[in-house]
Amino acid sequence: MFELYNQIASLFSRPIQQLAYGWEHLPILFAFFLGLVGAVAPCQLTGNISAITIYGNRSLTYKVPWLHVWVFIIGKIIVFSGLGFLIWVMGKDIHSSLTLVFPVLRKIIGPMLIFIGLFMMGMFHIRRIWPFYLLRRSTHNRTLLGSFFLGITFSIAFCPTMFVLFFLTLIPIVLSSPYGAVLPAFFALGTSLPLLLIIFLIWYFGASGAILKKSKKIGQLVQTLAGIVIIIIGFFDTVTYWL
């Protein structure tokens, strides 16, 4: 299953990777395009499709949740910037410790996606537990906190491809560049570009809340279908990283 993910990722990542290395002399652009390559890495691919499904569904059935999307991205920026800072402070010796931690964290994503999918389908109700509370309410701090932690959770889901891109390709440039501290943030933005693009297109073409305007029943059906998609992604992700 991982090989299938890897083949799909390679199909999209090769031209982007060539583009990224074309900007190697400009570290900020290189970090951004390297993040875009990471967006289609096997581990980030499932996270990005899930985020697009969650926030795309909210955009079509209610309104474009720009604030939630950006808080989600801020969560990703904090993770990648924090990891970059950790490497800068502790040096390359931390690599071996992180190699042991990330596979365990990666296994959380599949079951979590199945849980989110079941929740979106209305199988059960959760009032105060992150990050699922954001799917029930549309405003205020708790849902923003849910989006923030969702961004963090999806970002720590490292696979071998993402590990190579971030730690072995980007970090040496971070350590050698005079403004290397900001490069992980641009890498995080690159990994978020597919989500931003889809949400922007929904907003640009005036599709925000389009389904809700027609029928609440259709909106519920779309949310149920989105939940099924999330469950399928979670199932394949679980099979890939648990078996």
pLDDT in tens, 127-185: 554 444 544 544 344 467 878 888 888 888 777 678 778 888 888 888 888 888 899 99
* Predicted local confidence at residue 126, as pLDDT: 55
* Predicted local confidence at residue 74, as pLDDT: 95
Lowest mean pLDDT among 5-19, 26-40, 77-91: 5-19
Work out how many domains the chain is built from and give that number: 1
Structure tokens at 208: 């925000």
The pLDDT tens digits of the residues spanning 225-242 come to 888 888 888 888 788 777
One-letter identity of residue 189: L
In this predicted structure, the answer to whether residue 69 has a pLDDT above a threshold of 50 is: yes
Q: How far is CA 139 from CA 132, 147, 161, in A?
A: 13, 11, 36
| Segment of 7-11, 90-94, 161-165, 189-193 carrying the highest mean pLDDT | 189-193
CA 232 vs. chain centroid, Å, equals 17
Task: Indicate the DSSP class of residue 181.
Answer: G
Lowest mean pLDDT among 62-71, 97-106, 155-164, 183-192: 97-106
d(CA 88, CA 174): 8
User: Can you give the residue range of the structural domain that contains 144?
Assistant: 2-242
* Predicted local confidence at residue 25, as pLDDT: 83
* Interhelix angle 94-120/66-90, nearest 10 degrees: 160
Query: 188: closest CA among 152, 140, 233?
Result: 152
Lowest mean pLDDT among 5-9, 137-141, 213-217: 137-141
d(CA 32, CA 113): 27
In this predicted structure, the answer to whether residue 102 has a pLDDT above a threshold of 70 is: no
- Residue pair 59/207 in contact by the 8 Å Cβ criterion: yes
